[in-house]
């Protein structure tokens, strides 16, 4: 495995971590996940405005957003069924890239259509900030932007391509970040233009026995 590139302190980047064969295998695993837990459109708290991305989850917990707020829950908001388990390739990614972090409890699956965006935000709905957030990209290239722990901090931009992995840890764990745009037609992996972003997270605080030696 190649050494990661540090984009900012705590933000580690592995370009092409998954080769084409690995990307195809993960995309196939995700098709089975989404057959059990279909994509839904989250809503902004209070206003009810729809997100531009559609999403789903896998693992013991899933992140949802609606007029009631942001939260993690054990069931799909539309079907009421438990989230499907992690595909094997996601578990492997965490084991290889997340160091000694306790096991993840949620994987957000975000589908970006060609016009979708994600404004600058922090991932702070979890209890366990000592564990990283691990991101895998599939499909069209996206322009990712990351700053500091306040919204006004300077930002840097990076193109995330299909197969790339990115880790937010330590000083970057609560950094503001987002997706400014997609570059349609930059990948032939998926059956339609767009991008899938997978983010593995630890949600609840871990006991000492869960930390890998």
pLDDT above 90 (res 1): no
pLDDT above 90 (res 210): no
pLDDT tens by residue, 161-190: 999 999 999 999 999 999 999 999 999 999
Q: How confident is the model at residue 209 (pLDDT cuts 50, 70, 90)?
A: low
Specify the pLDDT at position 144: 98
Specify the pLDDT at position 213: 38
Specify the pLDDT at position 208: 56
pLDDT above 60 (res 108): yes
- Phi, psi dihedral angles at 110 (to 5 degrees): -105, 130
Q: Under CATH, what is the fold of the domain 5-203?
A: Jelly Rolls (2.60.120)
Output the pTM of the full model.
Answer: 0.94
What is the Cα–Cα distance from 72 to 23, expressed in whole angstroms?
Answer: 27
Q: Are 201 and 132 in contact (CB under 8 A)?
A: no
Q: Looking at residues 45-49, what average pLDDT do you find?
A: 93
pLDDT above 80 (res 199): yes
Mean per-residue pLDDT of the chain: 95
What are the C-alpha distances in Å from 76 to residues 40, 61, 113, 177, 206?
A: 9, 9, 21, 26, 24
Domain boundaries along the sequence of the chain? 5-203
Q: Looking at residues 142-154, what average pLDDT do you find?
A: 96
Cβ within 8 Å of residue 134, ≥6 positions away? 93, 94, 97, 98, 104, 165, 166, 167, 199, 200, 201
């Amino acid at each position: 495995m190649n050494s990661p590139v540090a984009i900012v302190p705590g933000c580690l980047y592995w370009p092409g971590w998954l080769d084409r064969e690995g990307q195809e295998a993960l995309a196939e695993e995700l098709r089975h996940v989404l057959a059990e837990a279909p994509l839904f459109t989250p809503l902004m708290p209070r206003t009810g405005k729809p997100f531009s991305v559609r999403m789903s989850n896998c693992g013991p917990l899933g992140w949802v957003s609606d007029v009631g707020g942001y939260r993690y829950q054990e069931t799909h908001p539309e079907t009421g069924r438990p989230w499907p388990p992690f595909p094997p390739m996601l578990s492997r990614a965490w084991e290889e890239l997340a160091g000694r972090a306790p096991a993840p409890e949620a994987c957000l699956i975000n589908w970006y259509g060609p016009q979708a965006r994600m404004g600058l935000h922090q991932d702070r709905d979890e209890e366990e900030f000592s564990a990283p957030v691990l991101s895998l990209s599939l499909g069209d290239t996206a322009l990712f932007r990351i700053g500091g722990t306040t919204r006004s901090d300077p930002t840097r931009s990076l193109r995330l391509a299909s197969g790339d992995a990115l880790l937010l840890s330590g000083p970057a764990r609560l950094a503001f970040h987002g997706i400014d745009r997609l570059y349609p037609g930059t990948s032939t992996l998926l059956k339609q233009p767009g991008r899938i972003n997978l983010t593995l997270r630890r949600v609840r605080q871990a006991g000492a026995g869960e930390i890998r030696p």
